[in-house]
Copies of this chain bind each other. A is one copy, B any other.
Amino acid sequence: MLAVVKTAKAPGVTLSQIPLPKAAKNEVLIKVKGASICGTDISIYDWTPWADGHIKNVPLVIGHEVVGEIIDINTSENTHLKKGDLVSSETHIFDNTCYQCLINNRHICEHMELFGIGRNGGFAEYATIPLRTTWKNTAKIPIEAMSAQEPLGNAVHVCEKANVAGKTVAVFGLGPVGLCAVAVAKAYGAKKVIGINRGEYRRNLAIKMGADEVYSELPKEYINKCEVVLEMSGNSEVIGQSLGAARIAGTIVFFGIPKKEAVIDIGKYFINKELTAKSVFGRKIWQTWYQTSDLLDEGKVDLSKIVTHKFKLEEFEKAMEIMKSGECGKIVLIP
């Protein structure tokens, strides 16, 4: 089958014909119907220090946001899944045996394995997924938008933690997850949502997703005025600005992972304003997926607005180029 493969611990990927995978014990085999590109995939493509720290073995089929149809199931346990089901993959493969898993924090498992990073993923014609991280799709949305449920889930988790209802919400960074956060914040009753992003293309997308106002940087009149700040940029230079936006007694949620350390004035930004900072890693398993499906089914979030490009798997290099330009929303690969 055709697959996007990381063949060496170095920049770039290879489009290769590789053998069809088999479902290992307690796994499903799916025929991939769609797979979307995440910012993480850029890091893997470029072989950043993050990629070097997380990818242990090559060759590796990359890609973790996928939707597909179950072709085979290999298990002797009971399961609600069956052949023909249209499923998505939860990227975070928890071990179900560590302390965090045992206290119901599976999404922050102590021994997490990552789909498409620590093991083969889904930029391919077929893929295998552990039963325990396979989500049976129920949302009545186009298949091409289904792989984007995973990043939408990030945004749902962020907004759920932030408790946005009735609040002025600033979203820093309008990549696909930031764009989803704009839509979810509005759906969950935010008073006003303002989006901040350097590039104009994504500011325009934010307006389509429901942002009340967008800016290239935070206007002065919003300094110390936002009850909720969502840090989705992953840019360490932006974090001071984000903290500055927060109102006394406000809440900031960290989601973006900066490449460099951030320099923070704890007294000015945390203590004097008595801020609370929460952090989000992935999505709650499976609570967030249910919430995500609900938002899609009610039409409160329309993922098709941010799926700006579709490419064949063969066109991966072209897709990656556009992805890096920032002149896109979500890019979906159709094998």
Contacts and interface: CB of A to CB of B under 8 A. Distances in A.
A261 to B, nearest CB: 5
B270 A266 contact: no
Interface in A65-82: 76-78, 80
Contact of A258 (B50, B106, B266, B290): B266
Interface in A267-302: 267, 270-281, 284-287, 290-291, 294-295, 298
B266 A273 contact: no
A14 interface: no
A248 interface: yes
Contacts of A188: 165-166, 188-189
B271 A280 contact: yes
A270 B279 contact: yes
B279 A276 contact: yes
Contacts of A100: 248-249
Given A266-B254, A287-B103, A189 B189 contact: yes
Contacts of A204: none
A105 interface: yes
A159 B291 CA distance: 19
A16 interface: no
A102 interface: yes
A106 B104 contact: yes
Contacts of A76: 76
Q: How many copies does the complex hold?
A: 4
A53 to B, nearest CB: 10
Interface in A143-192: 159-160, 163-166, 187-189, 191-192
Interface residues of A, number: 62
A279 B273 contact: yes
Contacts of A97: 78, 80
A87 to B, nearest CB: 14
B249 A287 contact: no
A108 B273 CA distance: 7
Given A276-B276, A294-B191, A261 B271 contact: no
Nearest to A190: B189
A255 interface: yes
Interface of A: 50, 76-78, 80, 97, 99-100, 102-106, 108, 110, 159-160, 163-166, 187-189, 191-192, 236, 239, 248-249, 254-255, 257-258, 261-267, 270-281, 284-287, 290-291, 294-295, 298
| Across the A-B interface, the 9 shortest Cβ-Cβ residue pairs | A189-B189, A104-B104, A188-B189, A257-B267, A165-B188, A103-B287, A277-B277, A270-B279, A102-B286
Given A104-B104, A192-B298, A257-B271, 15 more contacts: A104-B287, A108-B248, A110-B248, A160-B165, A163-B163, A164-B165, A165-B165, A165-B189, A188-B189, A236-B266, A262-B264, A262-B265, A274-B281, A276-B278, A277-B277
9 contacts: A77-B77, A104-B106, A163-B163, A166-B188, A188-B189, A191-B294, A236-B266, A254-B266, A274-B280
